[in-house]
Amino acid sequence: MKKTGVTDHRATPGNQGSMILTQELGDEAEFLVLSLWDSLDAVRAFAGERPEVAIYYPNDERFLLELEPEVRHYEVPVVELPGRHRT
């Protein structure tokens, strides 16, 4: 995921960072890719005109049990991180 999606996120203007979160669930693991963007227009530059449609890469089917068809977009009204100031 880092070599494909996260690398593509970071190469797109307007991306402010990406994280991969994991949670082990017995003999399986759940993955959540979280990406931060300047605007929905920046997301469209990455994902296309339908940014709610999930993007998958050729090897994803080998590793993922489910391929969610859609992604969710959220607004971030407050960011408080130590040592960082939002302008």
Q: What HEC string does 5-60 produce?
A: HHHHHHHCCCEEEEEEEEEEECCEEEEEEEEEECCHHHHHHHHCCCCCECCCCCCH
Q: Is 62 helix (H, G, I), strand (E, B) or coil?
A: helix
Which tens digits make up the pLDDT trace of 14-58? Answer: 999 998 899 999 999 998 989 999 999 999 999 999 999 999 988
pTM: 0.79
Task: State the CB neighbour count (10 A cutoff) for residue 43.
Answer: 20
pLDDT in tens, 56-83: 988 888 888 899 999 999 998 888 878 7
